[in-house]
Amino acid sequence: MENLCKNYVIAIDGEAGTGKSTLAKNIAKKYGIVYMDTGAMYRCVTLDMLNSGIDISQIDKISTLLDNIKIEMINDNGEDKFLLNDIDVTKEIREKRVNDLVSQVSHVPVVRERMVDLQRKLAQGKKIVMEGRDIGTNVFPNAEVKIYLTASAEERAKRRFLQNKEKGIDIPYEEILANVIFRDNNDKNSDVAPLKKAEDAFELDTTNYTLEEVEEIVMSKVKEKVDINV
């Protein structure tokens, strides 16, 4: 196989709530490769801005914040946790105030530039699965495997509502649906790394599939490109 024993990137892009994070985590855990949640990285930046009282228009202050920010993802007894400046913010980055602002923050050019640079550095010399909105088109345009997931807005809002409920986060379904639609519009019409399917990506509508079915379909495509068991 052409990619035998090589390091590789599995890029999973798509709309918010399509199951990108769960899919990426499952692949990483099952095959022992590195998982990177790029969305959580932007959420950490957003939370840091909120906690620091920095407005999205204050570019100089945002740049200074990025010069000093420390973002880490750790695995604590099988649970992925996110540290912002050495503090566990796993739950905080999913709160409503972050949800309402993260899409706008991710469109700020200096934020995007710094996070993309960090993502590329973290991926060097590794077998990695990375999910986001522009991994296959911008962060790693030469990724060995590119997947693009879609689903109806209603189904994605339902999934996010149930996920939040499990985590003890109380946000009404209608509010989540409105946020999903807003994010879709923001992400797809952004002047900075807009969400779009890479020409060579495999596209899958997950609306009527279970997570297990999605994983089975995607892994069949992954295994056509790389020997993931090496």
In a domain, 15, yes or no: yes
Q: Supply the mean pLDDT for the chain.
A: 90
In a domain, 29, yes or no: yes
Beta-ladder partners of 81: 74
In a domain, 230, yes or no: no
The model's confidence at residue 24, banded by pLDDT at 50, 70 and 90, is very high
In a domain, 68, yes or no: yes
In a domain, 99, yes or no: yes
The model's confidence at residue 3, banded by pLDDT at 50, 70 and 90, is very low
What pTM was computed for the model? 0.79
In a domain, 189, yes or no: yes
Give the model confidence (pLDDT) of 134-160 as tens digits.
899 999 999 999 999 999 999 999 999
Number of domains in the chain: 1
The Cα 128–Cα 24 span in angstroms is 9
pLDDT of residue 5: 43
What is the domain-level CATH number for residue 33? 3.40.50.300
Give the model confidence (pLDDT) of 90-136 as tens digits.
999 999 899 899 989 988 999 999 999 988 988 888 899 999 888 99
**Structural domain boundaries, residue 98:** 9-224
